[in-house]
Copies of this chain bind each other. A is one copy, B any other.
Amino acid sequence: MAKNRQGARALRFAGAPRIAGHASIVGKKEGEGPLCGTFDRVAQDDDRFGQDSWEKAESELQKECIELAATRAGCKVGDLDCILAGDLLNQCIGSTFASVASNAPYLGLYGACSTMAESLLLGALLVDGGYADRIVAAASSHFCSAERQYRFPLAYGGQRTPTAQWTATAAGAAVVTSDPAGGDVMVTGGAIGQMVDMGVTDAANMGAAMAPAAYRTLHDFWRDTGTKPTDYDMVVTGDLARVGGDLLVELFRRDGVDITPVYSDCGTMLFAPEQDAHAGGSGCGCSACVLCGHLLHEMHEKRLKRILFAGTGAMMSPISVQQGQSIAGVCHAVVLERVM
């Protein structure tokens, strides 16, 4: 069996690549939420980031975030061996135009809201496997570009159901290095998840569509690694939000496993209930900014030593929903550990 695998699906990064630098940038609403103070930058006034379209604003947001992460890692973007990035926009143009002038090798990814976990996992693998010295993993989303692409033009003032999630205007980026002295947080393992389709067809209830995939990935990961939820200081999905998070807790409860002592969700953490974000945050940028803001800060501060970051994505498009296809979920997991 593959030497860096444990059991059927868990991956092990024996070289323990380090997080050398990270950054998070968010929109105004996100900056007013419970995690304010954990982000590197918050948009002022509007969320245009100086651009004349929402799509360009998203690219600018991701670009600034990658640049800041690189700076924190003591390098320039052009020095990186690879940029691994993705977003929700058609043909992933948010990430394309964020890195088009980077002068660095680029891998485009699509994992819906699981993209930050996918990029971090693949990036760590490139470094751990000896194919790269230093990469950046990034993801972004923008409420205004997502809303008009997936739902309605903003000016329509479309109504939202209680199960709906609010696409975060946010980006996160993390530089992963092979340098053992490169940082105090290591990427030590993870798992690539499979899609799970339980027949959910309500695009306003993506938490329900993604929870079974999160259950599957976490269940298999704990089985393969011989660990249990409480072996981690935090098991954090991103983003099941309140509806999907409750479902995940219930799915494990049926197995007699109580994940509540360690369980959190990025979409639930990002917005306060009074912020009218309904079930909570979503979008590639949501788990990206919570990881690269709040969670990594908590690790640096030694309040978290070992976390299991499980990015969840709803695999669908407006066309697939219109054609009656159900919404599958996918979940990729990454283990982050603080150097003792």
Give every chain B residue within 8 A of A89 (Cβ-Cβ): 317, 319
Per the 8 Å Cβ criterion, residues 121-148 of A in contact with B are 122, 125-133
Give every chain B residue within 8 A of A122 (Cβ-Cβ): 107, 122
Give every chain B residue within 8 A of A328 (Cβ-Cβ): 96, 100
**Contact with A178, one of B2, B9, B96, B317 (Cβ below 8 angstroms):** B2
* Oligomer copy total: 2
Task: In the complex, identify which listed stretch (A109-117, A159-167, A236-244, A297-305) lies at the interface while the others stay far away.
Answer: A109-117
A2-B130, A108-B109, A110-B110 are contacts. A317–B91 as well, Cβ < 8 Å? yes
- B110, A91: Cβ atoms closer than 8 Å: yes
Q: Taking the nearest CB of chain B, how far is it from the CB of A318, in angstroms? A: 7
A30 interfacial by beta-carbon distance below 8 Å: no
- A195, B125: Cβ atoms closer than 8 Å: no
Task: In the complex, identify which listed stretch (A80-88, A261-269, A285-293) lies at the interface while the others stay far away.
Answer: A80-88
- B129, A125: Cβ atoms closer than 8 Å: yes
Nearest CB in chain B to that of A328: its residue: B100
Give every chain B residue within 8 A of A315 (Cβ-Cβ): 91, 93, 96, 100, 108
Q: Which of A106, A193, A316 has the most CB of B within 10 A?
A: A106
A294 interfacial by beta-carbon distance below 8 Å: no
A155 interfacial by beta-carbon distance below 8 Å: no
Mark interface residues in A1-24 (1 if CB within 8 Å of B CB, else 0).
Answer: 111110001010000000000000
- B194, A93: Cβ atoms closer than 8 Å: no
A9-B105, A106-B330 are contacts. A133–B2 as well, Cβ < 8 Å? yes
Q: How far is the CA of A110 from the CA of B122 in the complex (A)?
A: 14
Give every chain B residue within 8 A of A90 (Cβ-Cβ): 90-91, 317-319
A47 interfacial by beta-carbon distance below 8 Å: no
Interface residues on chain A, number (Cβ under 8 Å) = 63
A93-B317, A317-B90, A317-B91 are contacts. A107–B102 as well, Cβ < 8 Å? no
**Contact with A93, one of B126, B192, B316 (Cβ below 8 angstroms):** B316
- B129, A81: Cβ atoms closer than 8 Å: no
Q: Taking the nearest CB of chain B, how far is it from the CB of A78, in angstroms? A: 9
- B133, A1: Cβ atoms closer than 8 Å: yes
Per the 8 Å Cβ criterion, residues 177-213 of A in contact with B are 178, 191-195, 197
Give every chain B residue within 8 A of A109 (Cβ-Cβ): 107-110
Q: Which of A99, A131, A330 has the most CB of B within 10 A?
A: A131
Q: How far is the CA of A328 from the CA of B122 in the complex (A)?
A: 23
- B53, A104: Cβ atoms closer than 8 Å: no
- B5, A131: Cβ atoms closer than 8 Å: yes
Give every chain B residue within 8 A of A11 (Cβ-Cβ): 131
- A56, B323: Cβ atoms closer than 8 Å: yes
- B55, A102: Cβ atoms closer than 8 Å: no
Q: How far is the CA of A108 from the CA of B311 in the complex (A)?
A: 14
Give every chain B residue within 8 A of A323 (Cβ-Cβ): 53, 55-56
16 A–B contacts, CB within 8 A, in A order: A9-B105, A55-B320, A56-B325, A88-B91, A91-B317, A93-B315, A93-B316, A97-B320, A99-B195, A100-B315, A102-B194, A105-B194, A106-B193, A106-B194, A106-B330, A107-B118
